Amino acid sequence: MASFARKVIRSVFGAAEHVAPRLTGRAAFEIFCRTANPNAPSPREQKAIDQAARFMAEGRRHCLPIKSGSVTVFDFRPLDSAPTAGTVLVIHGWHSRTEYMKTVVEGFRDAGHRVISLDLPGHGHSSGRRLNMVLAVDAVRAVGEWFGPFKAVVGHSFGGAVAVNAAVGSVEGIPPLAAERLVLIAAPSSMPAIFEDFGRFLNLGPRSQIAVNDQVERIAGRPLSQFVGSEQLALTPIPTLVIHAPDDREVSPDSARMFAAAGDHVHLYWARGLGHRRILADPEVVDESVRFVAEQKQPELVH
């Protein structure tokens, strides 16, 4: 049934290219922004949420207003002492939530950091059913105003792309986030490439694809072509650790190589054999992240 539905959708979008490409592009963009219902997790997701219940109870919950509604953040502090190592912001990926970042949060908290974990719009405990880069960066802006500046921002998958765009101030009207370092775990570099893949998935024609790109420029104030993380970091040399698994099937390892090419301020760490999601629970990945944030000198590039 799912395969049949996909064929129908691809057929409709392919035909609409010849009738109303601008309308088709706007419709495709809305589909891209639509998020799954966070209140209807799969059995596997619910199990992960249940297993993290005790951990979540250790964080202070805050609800922050943003333009599209509200977002929820969780404030985790060292259990036995006051934070001494600075504040770290953690951002999950698409179709994720704070519960899935448990190991990362615990690693930084145990190292003496205050950790602020954000549930992006349309995810976890936050409101809404839409997410795009503009909504995400606006959410990070609100978190920064309440809890910043940050010693580091740690982002997984789409959350890594959000971290870059927030730090460099890519969205018109939103100032750069105050952060000393970035840690990008399994993060995509090129938003244009993501939209191209999405367009192929929907069978969009060239005019409809241009209309999708126009929607990005309309809400972000900049053309989609400027949302390339490696190019953004090349222009804003904030010390950055990129962690990626060569066997990642959701975000190509080429993204990590692109980030690493941005300059000597980018440190690349290959987490071999950990895929896209297992990487978040790996102790060595967390230890490498914590060490990088604690370093005072510029690290050397690791291949």
CATH number of the domain that 268 lies in? 3.40.50.1820
* pLDDT tens profile 81-127: 787 899 999 999 999 999 999 999 999 999 999 999 999 999 999 99
The Cα-based distances of 108 to 44, 85, 89, 122, 133 in angstroms read 26, 9, 10, 25, 26
Task: Choose the final residue of a domain: 175, 209, 225.
Answer: 225
Output the pTM of the full model.
0.94
Of the two residues 6 and 67, the one the predictor is more confident about is 67
* Cis peptide upstream of residue 149 (ω within 30 degrees of 0): yes
What is the pLDDT, as a whole number, of residue 81?
A: 78
301 found inside a domain:
no
Does residue 289 sit in the same domain as residue 160? yes
Domain span at 169: 39-190+228-294
What is the pLDDT, as a whole number, of residue 2?
A: 61
Q: Name the one residue in this structure whose structure tokens are 């809305």.
A: 30
Model confidence at 303: pLDDT above 60: no
268 found inside a domain:
yes
The pLDDT-based confidence of 267 (bands split at 50, 70, 90) is: very high
Does residue 93 sit in the same domain as residue 234? yes
What is the pLDDT, as a whole number, of residue 103?
A: 98
302 found inside a domain:
no
Does residue 92 sit in the same domain as residue 69? yes
* pLDDT tens profile 139-176: 999 999 999 999 999 999 999 999 999 999 999 999 99
Does residue 83 sit in the same domain as residue 206? no
Percent of the chain with pLDDT over 90: 87
The pLDDT-based confidence of 293 (bands split at 50, 70, 90) is: very high
44 found inside a domain:
yes
* pLDDT tens profile 6-27: 788 889 898 988 989 999 999 9
State the Cα–Cα distance between residues 115 and 218, nearest whole angstrom. Answer: 34
The Cα-based distances of 49 to 63, 94, 133, 138, 221 in angstroms read 19, 16, 25, 26, 37
Model confidence at 211: pLDDT above 90: yes
Six-digit token string for 225: 């072509």
The strand ranges marked E within the chain are 60-66, 69-76, 87-91, 114-119, 150-156, 179-185, 240-244, 266-270
Does residue 69 sit in the same domain as residue 156? yes
Does residue 14 sit in the same domain as residue 123? no
Task: Choose the final residue of a domain: 179, 204, 225.
Answer: 225
Of the two residues 299 and 277, the one the predictor is more confident about is 277
| Mean of pLDDT values over 208-221 | 97
121 found inside a domain:
yes
Does residue 73 sit in the same domain as residue 186? yes
107 found inside a domain:
yes
| Mean of pLDDT values over 28-41 | 94
242 with 268: CB under 8 angstroms? yes
What is the pLDDT, as a whole number, of residue 1?
A: 40
Does residue 207 sit in the same domain as residue 235? no
Does residue 152 sit in the same domain as residue 290? yes
User: How many CB atoms lie under 10 A from the CB of residue 10?
Assistant: 15
What is the pLDDT, as a whole number, of residue 21?
A: 93
The pLDDT-based confidence of 297 (bands split at 50, 70, 90) is: low
Total number of domains in the chain: 2
303 found inside a domain:
no
